[in-house]
Structure 1
């Protein structure tokens, strides 16, 4: 017995393994295609857009009061009367700022031209301001975009103002250092201002001899941007770049106008020991803006009332402020810098979610369960990815979500087809066996029981009938497989039962020979009974099997009664005879009994075979019609004796 159980268990394992193998391979192919799509950059824009959304939706942070923007707005330009701001007014602005004793001043204005009559005044301010940092532009090697630095400032007080934009024109990175056309390594304005501010607190900048060497501020190593960092694919990563970790606040920095400084209306504590950035915040006079979707707000977007649903405009001076803030916050506040996993870890992450989709597609065989399972897993993926972003880790979201859903749906589709194929094969075998059992085997059983008493001609006739029944099994199964058995889909159940009743009683079975009284059955109570095609077929087989049991196992039966009843939500079908039967033989657990019990489970009813008083047997199937749960019902009492129409 143990060997049989193990063999059966092993057979089930093999069947499940076959189904899983059929569903697993397409899912793995889908995961591979997702990985290839990511490697080729097809998913880059979607990943970058998701990256922006996650950055923008992070919890609020307090404004960084260590960085102050002195903005030259439209009102300041009208007050001065012209733009660019003349050298005299700019010199006055810088001298006034120095009176507030800021830690360092960043001048985000190009000042390479020296034709202004008051240039000497501004030059004197440049030479006497060791905490002043000016700008130049290298232009990425393009001569048209190069802008020289103010000639009066030493090279150590000049930083690059170059901005790195992505292929979609949005800002996500900042340049820290680059080798310019002269061959020298130049630092950006943001890095120089941050390094100067940190130096006042005893924290030094450390860097190698090449632009690509790691940059370190105190104990904090700045994670360099690579060509394939995060969701990027073969991005331009020249020089030393870093992902821009925008400060998460609608107004992350204090903004003071040029007029407020010139008229002394700025509070001293706003500027003392601060990093002060001087730049243009006038959208009509100078187009010094970049676009982003990763911030909660910007000066120009708020000023002109532009919708920030798709993107925000960011002043160049704001960009530098965010860059400076992330550097000093990483050193002084342990605010994490944006980082990403290694490529191997990222693809393992994608593989994990893809395999999870495959498992869900295989285990949750219902389409709705699969859909809900994938939706729940997708929500978990997004929540985990957002949690990683909240602690400044960028993990793949789009490819992982795509692998999860695509692999899950593909696997579910192939798995369903494989299971349907196996179920169809199993159903075909079952129906073939049922046809043989309820036809030829019943005839053969009748022949064997009366073999000694049959004359030769009678035996020949019955064997010919058996031969014809065996051939008809093949023909009927072949037709059912080729075109489907239309009888059970098009013919009402009560008509089918009449046909089964008449055809079965015509069979030459020994138990039918003594029957003198056939009470005509009435199957019309089942006319409105909702049954599936399989249930209709099983009910016909049940009636055929019950009648064949009378024909094969009943002795001296004089009457046969088939009763069909419908009471409220319950139905009953009974086959009753009044002959002498071997009860143990009739009630044994054969194929017919198994069929009846399977049908009872399908109909959520019950089946039993019991003695009939005073003689005979009752074969009974009781089931209830589908009904709303809030309605009451009264089932048949199966222990009640049916109307005794045989006496």
Structure 2
């Protein structure tokens, strides 16, 4: 068996060597943090793609909406108004009340009435802020031990993906967050308490009913050396924010007006956790989460506390899974496996070229699908890295196969030169056939490295090479050089509306339109990245560049690609930035690209669906 395995390894050494090299490169690059934002974006997509869970009826949110603030006539609300609200909630006999409103100072009138509510409501929990700019809790609730943290953990991109369960403050006291305290109080009434599993483990696992919770580590999942102060867990959100009208709210949310006007069933809050907090955007207590696609889909702080409480409750009572991650070696093995798939497909390039491309595409889709299916099962696996590893190992294998084939061809040429004169004619014909095959392989390789696979126009690499060459020619001959950056307006919204396959078709159509508008042989149209295209116009002044920009807009407009979600047009449009300079040895092509990008930004500021010429180009 070992002999057979050894033979397989020798025969497929190109595959596993390529897979190992590419996987190692991906892992090392990932350790620098360069893929962290991309993996977070993949995780956010998984949350949005996941089927909607049923609402958690153990939690009720009393939201103070904009209409409630208008009715109050002031913010913050007075102590009398707050006391009346809490008294109405208390009358429904909830299990616990979480007051997610900072109340460190009295707001007259009615402070004495509010203090009486504090004294008589043993299941009321107020909040404080203990990190950053601290905010003190209500003094009386602090004396009674009825205070929790309102602090949230925000990632580097500004989104909330982790929940803070507890924190040891500077005085050595253990502080619980609002959601955690209410959930633990509710579970304690049911006889469910925390049980330590392994205190020596860095993850500090604890058992709570049917669930096991593990402390978030600084490099869990795709996080790279992230600050992990306190006991944090990855939040397993139940669904979209309650303000997202297109999706059901994960909790029962009622307004303050409904509570004060007695418009609720008398047992709506009985034995339930009640969170009271502001949902009005004007107050500013809103945060981006994985579900955030625009400012209107940010989640309020009181909802985030409710999600944390729901995660603890549903895990302990229902066995609902938390978001788990694999140890680093297993994640590396996951990447290596997909890298091997890409290398295996690429190694068959000479035998089945079309099959190789299809195989690589299937493998990439499989990597994303595998990560998504694992997420549905409660596991967060890398999604972008395997995708990139498949492409890298596939291209590496193809390049190696072509290189080996090239070496074999040269070896045959040497053999042909040593043959007898009697076979010169026959061997010459064979040489011609081999040379033709070699040229075809070289042309294919050149096409692969210079052409964008989706749009079939020049890629970023070809653009950089061509711009540098034309820049040097412009320096020698003192000729004007113009470039243009084009961006598909609101393309992310287009993808969200029509789906990624439609987005790919849109990019292909736009690329064809640009290619039709760029007519001179010396001009180059290229895909610059994502939905952005670039055009190099040698020996062209700004007037000529403007004419090309107008032609491009006309060609794209003629396509009539529907874009019902675009704020500027019912059809797909472009914004264009134009820059024109006479190249000099003291400058570089990068300055021209920066000028065009600046002009593109100005075009977007002017409302999009237009072009803008960089001011320096007019001089």
Q: Find 2:57's aligned residue among 39, 59, 65.
A: 65
Deviations 1:209-234 (A, max 9, x none): 99985444235221211100100000
State yes or no: 1:196 paired with 2:182. no
Residue 587 of structure 1: aligned partner = none
Q: Find 2:331's aligned residue among 346, 353, 362.
A: 346
Q: Could you tell me how far apart the structure 2 residues matched to 1:271 and 1:54 are?
A: 33
TM-score, normalising length from structure 1?
A: 0.60
Structure 1 contact 432–477 (Cα < 8 Å) conserved: no
Q: Could you tell me how far apart the structure 1 residues matched to 2:125 and 2:151 are?
A: 15
Q: Could you tell me how far apart the structure 2 residues matched to 1:56 and 1:128 are?
A: 43
Deviations 1:262-306 (A, max 9, x none): 11001123211111100001112x1111011337xxxxxxxxxxx
Secondary structure at 2:160 match in 1 = coil
Structure 1 contact 87–118 (Cα < 8 Å) conserved: yes
State yes or no: 1:150 paired with 2:151. no
Q: Find 2:235's aligned residue among 231, 244, 253.
A: 244
RMSD of equivalent CA atoms: 3.3
State yes or no: 1:329 paired with 2:304. no
Residue 458 of structure 2: aligned partner = none
Residue 159 of structure 1: aligned partner = 148
Q: Find 1:294's aligned residue among 284, 291, 295.
A: 291
Q: What is the Cα deviation at residue 88 of structure 1?
A: 0.5
Q: Find 1:259's aligned residue among 243, 257, 272.
A: 257
Residue 413 of structure 1: aligned partner = 399
Listed as ranges, the matches of 1:628-647 within 5 Å are none
Mean Cα deviation higher: 178-187 or 209-218: 209-218
Q: What is the Cα deviation at residue 427 of structure 1?
A: 6.5
Q: Could you tell me how far apart the structure 2 residues matched to 1:310 and 1:368 are?
A: 44
Listed as ranges, the matches of 1:46-85 within 5 Å are 46-85=38-77
Listed as ranges, the matches of 1:340-489 within 5 Å are 340-365=325-350, 366-426=352-412, 429=415, 436=420, 440=422
Q: What is the Cα deviation at residue 23 of structure 1?
A: 6.6
Residue 312 of structure 1: aligned partner = 297
Q: What is the Cα deviation at residue 420 of structure 1?
A: 3.5
Structure 1 contact 291–311 (Cα < 8 Å) conserved: no
Listed as ranges, the matches of 1:175-194 within 5 Å are 175-194=164-183
Structure 1 contact 212–240 (Cα < 8 Å) conserved: no
Listed as ranges, the matches of 1:131-150 within 5 Å are 131-139=123-131, 142=132, 145-150=133-138
Structure 2 contact 165–177 (Cα < 8 Å) conserved: yes
Listed as ranges, the matches of 1:495-574 within 5 Å are none
Q: Could you tell me how far apart the structure 2 residues matched to 1:229 and 1:358 are?
A: 28
Q: Could you tell me how far apart the structure 1 residues matched to 2:144 and 2:203 are?
A: 20
Q: Could you tell me how far apart the structure 2 residues matched to 1:479 and 1:77 are?
A: 87
How many equivalent residue pairs? 423
Structure 2 contact 203–217 (Cα < 8 Å) conserved: no
CA 1:391–1:156 in structure 2 vs 1: closer, same or farther (change >3 Å)? farther
Q: Could you tell me how far apart the structure 2 residues matched to 1:198 and 1:333 are?
A: 12
Secondary structure at 1:71 match in 2 = strand
Residue 273 of structure 1: aligned partner = 271
Q: Could you tell me how far apart the structure 1 residues matched to 2:207 and 2:239 are?
A: 24
CA 1:22–1:225 in structure 2 vs 1: closer, same or farther (change >3 Å)? closer
CA 1:56–1:310 in structure 2 vs 1: closer, same or farther (change >3 Å)? farther
Secondary structure at 2:218 match in 1 = coil
Structure 1 contact 23–412 (Cα < 8 Å) conserved: no
Q: State the 4+ residue runs in structure 1 displaced beyond 6 angstroms.
A: 16-19, 207-212, 476-481
Residue 170 of structure 1: aligned partner = 159
Q: Could you tell me how far apart the structure 1 residues matched to 2:296 and 2:391 are?
A: 29
Q: What is the Cα deviation at residue 378 of structure 1?
A: 1.4
Q: What is the Cα deviation at residue 421 of structure 1?
A: 2.5
State yes or no: 1:223 paired with 2:214. yes
Q: What is the Cα deviation at residue 316 of structure 1?
A: 0.6
Residue 504 of structure 1: aligned partner = none
Structure 1 contact 432–473 (Cα < 8 Å) conserved: no
